[in-house]
Amino acid sequence: MKYIILLLGWAFLCLSCGPTANLNAQNSDGSITLFDNGTVKDGVYIDASGNLGLGQQNLKDKLEVNGQIHAKSVKVDLDNWADHVFDKSYPLDSLSQIEDYIKNHGHLREIPTAKEVRSNGIDLGQINRLLLKKIEELTLHLIDKEKQISQLQLKLTQLEQRLSRLEQVATKN
């Protein structure tokens, strides 16, 4: 696996550095650094644990990229999903409770604040699970509101019919 990563890193550098680049490799503490013209900024770093950094040297995760990533697809494995929202026993907050929480905290319950996102970033799997949970909660609220609207429309129709009958009786007298 390390050889594949090393080969990918080397290919990345060869393709991105151009024909005048000086390709250097250093071994220290079991790590490998490949860089262009002595800068780690555009280099590839593999630490002794097999963590890979592109333009990043102090690694905490298996892959760290200092720049934009472009992919056709990203798959995130998760242990849990938000389907429990549709369980009958799920404690769905009322819209007024949600409104109060937003007024007091400036964001939805369970969703990180802008400050937290700036400080910690976002776990894509976790935020997708939370957003789906909020969508499912909103769906339940919309279903409830549609039922309320239907009931109100029925009552309105009944009241209009009653008013029409009363007007007919009043005009006969």
pLDDT in tens, 114-156: 999 999 999 999 999 999 999 999 999 999 999 999 999 999 9
pTM of the model: 0.68
The pLDDT-based confidence of 104 (bands split at 50, 70, 90) is very high
Q: Which residue would you say has higher pLDDT here, 24 or 56? A: 56
What are the phi and psi torsion angles at 156 (to 5°)? -65, -45
Q: Cα 97 to the chain's mean position, in Å? A: 24
Q: What percent of the chain has pLDDT over 70?
A: 79
Q: Which residue has the tokens 């024909």?
A: 19
- Other CB atoms within 10 Å distance of the CB of residue 134: 16
Task: Say what the pLDDT of residue 79 is.
Answer: 86
Domain limits, the chain: 2-65, 82-172
Q: Are 155 and 135 in contact (CB under 8 A)?
A: no
**Closest to 76 (Cα-Cα) out of 121, 113, 8, 127:** 127
Decide which of 41 and 130 is more confident.
130
Phi, psi (rounded to 5 degrees) for 121: 75, -170
Please tell me the distance from the alpha carbon of residue 104 to that of residue 112, in angstroms, as a whole number. 14
- Where is mean pLDDT largest: 6-20, 21-35, 89-103? 89-103
What token pair was written down for 75? Answer: 């798959």
Can you point out the beta strands (E) in the chain?
23-28, 31-36, 39-46, 52-54, 63-65
